[in-house]
Every structure is written in C-alpha cells, then in structure tokens.
Amino acid sequence: MNTSLWLKKRKPYWDRLEELIRQSGRTGLSKLTARELRETGLLYRQVAADLATVREDPRNQRMAEYLNRLLGAAHNLIYLGRRTSPSGILDFYRRGFPRIFRETMSYTMAAFVLFLLGALAGMLATLADPAFTRYLLGHQMTDTIARRQMWTHSIVGIQPLASSSIMTNNITVSLSAFAAGFTVLGTVYMMVFNGLMIGVIGAACWQASMSVDLWSFVAPHGALELPAIFVAGGGGLLIARGLLFPGLLSRREAIQ
C-alpha cells in the first residue's frame, strides 16, 4: 500500500467526521440535519474499516491511535441515545413496558408453562403417593393440613407484617428467577420447583377438603404476584437465550 497516497485519499473523510463531531457539540445528534446524520453513520463505518487497515502495518501506530480516538468519539456520539426526562418514566410505563411485554410474551408464556408443568407434576405425585407431600412440605405443615387447619391462621393477627413478608418473598423469587437466567437452567428450575410446591399444596388441601380456604388466601395477592414471577422468569429465559444462541453477536452483546 502506498501510505502517502492512501492517506491523502482518506484524510478528507476523517476531517469531515471530526467536523461533524465538533458541530454536534454537547447537545448530541439533535444539532445535525437528516443528511448529516446519514453521513455520520457512513463515515463511522468507513473510519472503522480504515482503522483495521492501518493496524495491519506496525509503522502506523500514531495514525492508528488518532483513528481510534476519532472512532471512539463518533461511537459515543452515535450511541449516546436520547436525553432522559422525568416524563420519560411515565412514558415508559404507558408505552415502553407494554410494548416490550407484548414482544417478549412468548418467553413469559414459556415460564408460565414450566410453572404449570411443575404444578401438574406435584399434584399427580401427591395424589399417587401421599408420602410425597410429607417429603416435600415437611412434617409440621403436613400435620397441620391433616388436622384440617390452615397454617395461615396465625398470619391474620399480624396482617401488616405478614403482608410485608409475603411480598418480600415473592419479590425475591422474581428477582432470583430473572438473575438465574445467567446459569441457563436456573430459571427453568425455579419455575418448575415453585409450580411443584403449588401443585403439592393444592392437592394436599384438596384431599383435606380445604381448597376454598387455600385459594381464598392465595388469590388476593397471587393474582398480581404470580404473573410478576412469570414475567421475571421470561426475562431469565431471554438471558439464557442470549448465552446459548448469541447468533452473529458476541454473548455479551446478545445478553444486553
């Protein structure tokens, strides 16, 4: 490669990108016209290719450092994004979250199906072998159900504390189900296991003719908390997908 001739040919493009970066100032891309925005994107890709070419020759280290700084400044400008405002929080809950929820509905449904399969397995195992209930729930809770007593009766007298405890537990389950996606199988395990517990308790209470007592206690808070767990589980499955199937992206980019 004729370095001087190539440099003379490419330098105007570098100068132009540098000019666009200065022109944008502190306000970012809003200072640029639509044509300049397209030009910035094109120049960014061209400079990235030029940097790769320059790095092939060890003698061009100073030029590589200059292009690297220029490319970094352009990257920060392009990927800066929109400035946030207090109204953006409201807009996220009005438009952003519902849109994301619909786009990722298949993963939320997958988490729900895993939970449902666990519940079905727990119910069938309890009906087939009552000893399974004692194994999973422990002697104290099993004996309480056998006496046809709801273990929730002690909660009634301390409603604020009990409500806080239940809410904290379900928030912990939700966050854990989401974060467990980094272990790939962790989210699957949590969905199935929590479903298994519900299935076992539901079947045991049905055998003891306590179904109405159980579900009248679960329904008021479960109507909100269980869907929240399914949404969090769907997020965990999304993380697992990024780890297992990153596609053309790196695994880090796929997870992001």
Which two structure tokens, joined as six digits, stand for 150? 């709801």
**Residue 242, C-beta contacts closer than 8 angstroms, at least 6 positions apart:** 251, 254, 255, 256
For residue 196, the model assigns a pLDDT of 93
Distance of CA 103 to the CA centre of its chain: 13
Give pLDDT tens digits for 143-171. Answer: 777 777 766 555 555 455 556 777 788 88
Task: Output the DSSP codes for 187-222.
Answer: HHHHHHHHHHHHHHHHHHHHHTT-HHHHHHHHHHHH
For residue 251, the model assigns a pLDDT of 77
For residue 152, the model assigns a pLDDT of 59
For residue 108, the model assigns a pLDDT of 95
For residue 153, the model assigns a pLDDT of 55
For residue 160, the model assigns a pLDDT of 58
Low-confidence ranges of the chain (pLDDT < 50): 158
For residue 118, the model assigns a pLDDT of 94
For residue 109, the model assigns a pLDDT of 96
For residue 255, the model assigns a pLDDT of 77
For residue 102, the model assigns a pLDDT of 93
Can you tell me which residue has the tokens 């296991």?
A: 193
Q: Whole-angstrom distance between the N-terminal and C-terminal Cα of the chain?
A: 39
